Amino acid sequence: MTWDTRNGRWEYASNWFGSGGGGGSGITVGTTAIASGTAGRVLFQGSGNVLQQEAEFFWNETNNALQIGSPTAVSGYGMLLRQSDNSATTGVRVISNNQAAYMDVYYAGLLHTGDLLLQGNTSIRLNTATGVTIGANSAPELSLDIRGRTMTNSRVLLSQGADVASAAGAITLGGDGNSFEITGTSSITAIVNTNWQNGATITLMFTSTATLTDGTANSGTSIGFELAGNANFTASADDVITLVLSEIGGTQRWREVSRSVN
């Protein structure tokens, strides 16, 4: 038995003398099978300096993937994670060193199945079904739901929605834009407020002589107009009017902002 000054250990024959208590008691990696071992399981030190293995900690040699939580083996991924407790709120969490920022992937529970939450000074929540929230850790109410001030140094591109036919009574505008071409000659008394909110601005562009009727009382989701001079707006081809959905004194109305009579 000799002392190895390079590694600071006693050397006995070809084996190291360590906490195992005797020479010749070690294993030779690569040639010695592990009793009751399963190919692919990652070995780790358990209590009492004992090597242990766990079915949910697995190296998939075929797909070159580290699998945690026994997910289904899928090729093309470097790491596969699976929540082991289906009753838990958070499936996977990746945290910063001081835990002030983190990323959660939700399996079920807290808000929506399929959520991805990025939490730091400002939260970003992405949901596969409902949309994205920026600036709050809450479910998105729209496809893109931004809470707080928004700044951009580039052009904001808005869309013109599909044409809407005038109809006697209330009309419904599409969810595909904020400006709409209004066809036909009917008298419109209201616009449905579903999926609009106070502060929303719309621009109506007329191809013919449709009329907006001033002062019609609200009825359910059908919201009437407050037009300039408390008078009806009878359009002609190429006329344009801009309205804002707003609440004044507890009453929601589509109120005229401007018009262009061409």
Q: What is the pLDDT, as a whole number, of residue 30?
A: 72
Virtual torsion, Cα 75, 80, 85, 86, nearest 10 deg: -50
Comparing 11 with 148, the larger pLDDT belongs to 148
Residue 178 main-chain phi, psi, to 5 deg: -115, 0
Q: What is the pLDDT, as a whole number, of residue 191?
A: 98
Q: Within 13 Å of residue 122, how many CA atoms lie on the same side as its CB?
A: 8
Q: Average pLDDT of the chain? A: 81
pTM: 0.61
Token pair of 216, please?
A: 């019609």
pLDDT digits (tens, 9 = 90+) for 121-148: 678 877 767 788 888 777 777 788 888 8
Determine contact, residues 115/103, Cβ cutoff 8 Å: no
111 has a pLDDT exceeding 60: no
230 has a pLDDT exceeding 70: yes
Token pair of 3, please?
A: 């002392």
Mean pLDDT computed over 20-47: 71
1 has a pLDDT exceeding 60: no
Q: How many CB atoms lie within 10 A of CB 56?
A: 13
Virtual torsion, Cα 197, 200, 206, 211, nearest 10 deg: 50
Helix, strand, coil share of the chain (percent; to 5): 0, 40, 60
Any idea what the Cα angle at residue 212 is, between residues 208 and 218, rounded to 5°?
A: 150
Q: What is the pLDDT, as a whole number, of residue 168?
A: 97
Q: What is the pLDDT, as a whole number, of residue 29?
A: 65
Mean pLDDT computed over 54-73: 77
Q: What residue type is 52 in one-letter code? A: Q
